[in-house]
Each structure stands twice: as structure tokens, then as C-alpha cells.
């Protein structure tokens, strides 16, 4: 048995003991471990997971929400460095699971990365918009005293993306770029969030990516990432990987 297979076996045993599935990919010793959530929204699975397979030093375990929401509780930070959320879970997780998730973020300090359609997840749980710093509006609502209409969207749009903060670790080495992706317009963004990427597309919100903190957790949201065309964009891939590393404290 070679060293890689031995390490995989040990990792599988440890995860099984914690009630978690074995990791889909093994990274080098000292690498970043992420829990990668999907569910509630279709996506190009092969291209999506291939993008994560190409990230050196990052290993992932798949989870589906809401089915696996019981994992989102204190202690998860001992198994994973970061949660990457690509689900659009609705309805929201149970009240007990919400409480455990908030406790994980406020006391455990696990990193959190929210991707694309996760902006519309947990619609019937208002605290979730405060966690990720944004909200795709699925039906007319009022937030902080302001009325919001349904968020419009459109596929296959060309966006010119500008770096708003070139000093941040997430944007390091990334210049302004163009990407073909789905756009979202008129969504809510936490005014306290630090915006890292913007666009001048007339039908998209100006904000494309931002960071914030929630409790002890670093949070990064990247609005981009609908399909394989976006996954293949070099700037997008670099931003996502550096966002994971930043959220994980690396």
C-alpha cells in the first residue's frame, strides 16, 4: 500500500467516525479541507467538480442540503477548515439546525464561501442573508424598512468585472476581466460588507463579490459561477480558490 492510499484510508476512518462521508479527493498533508454543499438547483456537475479537483492542496467532501444539514453544527470546524456553499436549499433547514449552524459560525470560526445561486438559499430564514451578506429576492419583501421586488436574472451575459480592492488576498494577482455568466439584478447586499468586485453591466447589481465576518467566521460571497463557461474562466477559478484560502485563514 502506498503512502497516498494509506492516508486516504486513515481519512476515511476518521470521517466515518464523525458521521461524515469519506472525502472525494485527498490533498497533501496540511491542505485545506472543505465541506462542499449542493442541492436545490441544477448545475453542470462534471465541470464543477473538475474545477475543485484542479485546486492543489484543497480536498473536498460532498454534502447535499437539506438532507445533510445535520452536519452544520459545532465540532465541524475540527473536521473542515471551510464550508463552500453552492446549494439553493429551500425550504430552510429546521429551527434546531439553524441554531446549530449559527453556533458553529459564532463559536467555531469555520470559514464560509457562498457561491452564485446560494444567494437565494434559505429564503424563509432571514438570518441567512445576514450570514452571507446578500439576498436574491424570490418574492416581494421588505428588508430593513425598504421594499424589494423580485430579483431579475438572465443567462449567457457578458460582464466586465473590475477589481474594487487590489490589496485584498482574494484579489491578489487578478486583474479586471470579462466573463460569460448569469446575471442577477436588484438583490440585497449588506451595506457593511467589503465589496471586492464590481461590474457596470446595466442589468446586474454593481456588487459581484464581497467579504464580511459573522461571529468568528470569515465569509466570502462570489456571485459568479452559473455553468461550465464560468468555471473555466481563469480569473474566476483563481478568485474562488483564493477566496477559499482566505476564508479558511490560510
pLDDT tens-digit map of 43-57:
999 999 999 999 999
Fold observed for domain 31-247: Rossmann fold (3.40.50)
Mean pLDDT within 113-137: 97
Model confidence at 28, pLDDT cuts 50, 70, 90, reads very low
Show me where the domains of the chain are located: 31-247
* Residue 178 clears pLDDT 90, i.e. is over it: yes
- How high is the pLDDT of residue 20? 54
CB 80, CB 68: distance < 8 Å: no
Model confidence at 4, pLDDT cuts 50, 70, 90, reads very low
Model confidence at 6, pLDDT cuts 50, 70, 90, reads very low
Model confidence at 249, pLDDT cuts 50, 70, 90, reads very high
Continuous H helices in 18-152? 45-53, 95-103, 127-132
- How high is the pLDDT of residue 29? 58
Mean pLDDT within 154-160: 97
Mean pLDDT within 238-245: 99
DSSP string, 141-199: EEETTEEEPPPPEEEEEEEEEEES-TTSTTTTT---EEEEEEEE-S-EE-TTSEEEEEE
- How high is the pLDDT of residue 17? 41
Three-class secondary structure of residue 113 per DSSP = strand
CB 169, CB 240: distance < 8 Å: no
* Residue 21 clears pLDDT 70, i.e. is over it: no
| Residue 214 DSSP one-character state | E
Query: pTM for this one?
Result: 0.89
Amino acid at each position: 500500500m502506498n503512502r497516498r492510499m494509506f492516508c486516504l484510508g486513515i481519512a476515511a476512518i476518521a470521517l466515518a467516525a464523525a458521521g461524515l462521508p469519506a472525502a472525494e479527493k485527498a490533498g497533501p498533508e496540511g491542505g485545506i479541507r472543505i465541506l462542499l454543499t449542493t442541492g436545490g438547483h441544477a448545475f453542470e456537475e462534471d465541470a464543477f467538480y473538475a474545477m475543485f479537483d484542479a485546486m492543489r492542496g484543497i480536498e473536498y467532501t460532498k454534502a447535499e442540503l437539506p438532507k445533510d444539514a445535520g452536519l452544520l453544527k459545532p465540532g465541524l470546524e475540527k473536521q473542515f477548515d471551510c464550508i463552500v456553499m453552492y446549494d439553493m436549499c429551500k425550504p430552510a433547514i429546521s429551527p434546531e439546525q439553524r441554531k446549530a449552524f449559527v453556533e458553529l459560525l459564532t463559536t467555531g470560526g469555520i470559514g464560509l464561501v457562498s457561491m452564485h445561486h446560494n444567494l437565494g438559499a434559505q429564503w424563509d430564514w432571514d438570518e441567512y442573508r445576514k450570514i452571507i451578506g446578500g439576498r436574491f429576492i424570490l418574492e416581494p419583501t421588505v428588508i430593513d424598512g425598504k421594499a424589494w421586488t423580485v430579483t431579475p436574472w438572465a443567462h449567457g451575459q457578458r460582464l466586465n468585472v473590475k477589481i474594487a480592492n487590489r490589496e485584498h488576498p482574494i484579489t491578489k494577482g487578478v486583474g479586471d476581466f470579462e466573463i460569460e455568466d448569469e446575471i442577477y439584478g436588484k438583490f440585497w447586499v449588506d451595506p457593511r460588507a467589503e465589496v471586492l468586485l464590481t461590474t457596470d453591466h446595466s442589468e446586474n447589481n454593481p456588487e459581484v463579490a464581497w467579504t464580511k465576518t459573522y461571529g468568528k467566521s470569515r465569509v466570502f460571497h462570489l456571485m459568479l459561477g452559473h455553468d461550465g463557461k464560468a468555471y473555466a474562466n481563469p480569473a474566476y477559478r483563481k478568485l474562488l480558490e483564493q477566496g477559499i484560502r482566505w476564508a479558511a485563514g490560510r
